[in-house]
Amino acid sequence: MIVPRDSKPPRGRARRPAAQTSWDPLAYWYNGWVGEGGSEHHREVAIPATVRLLEPRPGERILDVGAGQGVLAPVIARTGAQYVGIDASPRLLDLARKHHGGAGRYILGDARQMSSLQGLSAASFDAVVFLLSIQDMDPLEPVLRSAAWALKPGGRLVIMMTHPAFRMPRQSGWGWDEGRKLVYRRIDRYLTPLPIPMKLLPGRDSTATTRSFHRPLGMYIDGLAEQGLLIDRMDEIPAHKLTTAGENAKAVDLALREIPLFLGLRSRAVQS
């Protein structure tokens, strides 16, 4: 195990999560909820879309930031690239090693301070990826600075996230327009960055809290540009499953096809 310098826990004492936004308190619930290979959303939509943007090649070094229990590791390993996952949750990393230990290497640490972690060095990765994790980290600036530090010149940074313009948790939702017989998406707020407490899902310990950090799209684009990362591809991705039955099935299908669930951004480290 690799821990931040100066913070190695004494033997026998429980390892503490490396950041307040860590999902360590939710680790076993999350593992049970998404499963070893990821949730259906992961498998059918988010992972394939991420790999399309990432374009991993044999021999490349790929850093997965907010790796959780390592769902991306076997997919990257199959391409012949070398996988390294970093996460702030010791429990999730233990699960990652258990499920996918042979597919890569896992490092405990804070995504905002990767330059202080043993086992990572500057300009050593061909690509950095955030798979459904960047909206769980805060603030954004040190996270992107840290990721840019890890990237080789010309390297790629891929972000896959819940679409911030359409799918803000608790601040958006579906509605039915009876007059026009259509399903619409209601957006309550967008421009103001907002920490949003995560909704309690079945089986979750109600005392374990996490927050999602809503930010308007411009904060990502400007934040990347400030680190010399320029976007060269953007992918807006709908949910994969369309309803086939029910009273308003056609209208629901249209809304699901037209209003994206995920947003993928690929940027490149410009060489100065």
Ligand X SMILES: C[S@@+](CC[C@H](N)C(=O)[O-])C[C@H]1O[C@@H](n2cnc3c(N)ncnc32)[C@H](O)[C@@H]1O
Binding site for ligand X (CB under 6 A): 19, 21-23, 34, 66-68, 71, 87-89, 92, 110-112, 131-133, 136-137
Residue at shortest CB range from ligand X: 68
Enumerate residues 6+ apart whose C-beta is below 8 A from 174.
Answer: 183, 184, 185, 186, 255
User: For residue 231, which of 158, 146, 171, 149 has the smallest C-alpha distance?
Assistant: 158
What is the C-alpha separation between 212 and 192, in angstroms, rounded?
A: 14
Minimum Å gap between C-beta 5 and ligand X is 16
When the beta carbons of 4 and 242 are compared against ligand X, the nearer one is: 4
- Residue placing its CB nearer to ligand X in the complex, 70 or 183: 70
> Residue 205 CB, nearest distance to ligand X (Å)?
15
Cβ of residue 81: shortest distance to ligand X, in angstroms?
A: 17
CB of 23 to ligand X, least distance (A): 4
The distance of closest approach from Cβ of residue 237 to ligand X in the complex, given in angstroms and rounded to an integer, is 14
Q: Which is nearer to ligand X, 159 or 229 (CB)?
A: 159
- Residue with smaller CB distance to ligand X, 19 or 265: 19
In the bound state with ligand X, the residue whose beta carbon lies nearer, of 21 and 251, is: 21
* CA–CA dist 102, 47 (Å, integer): 19
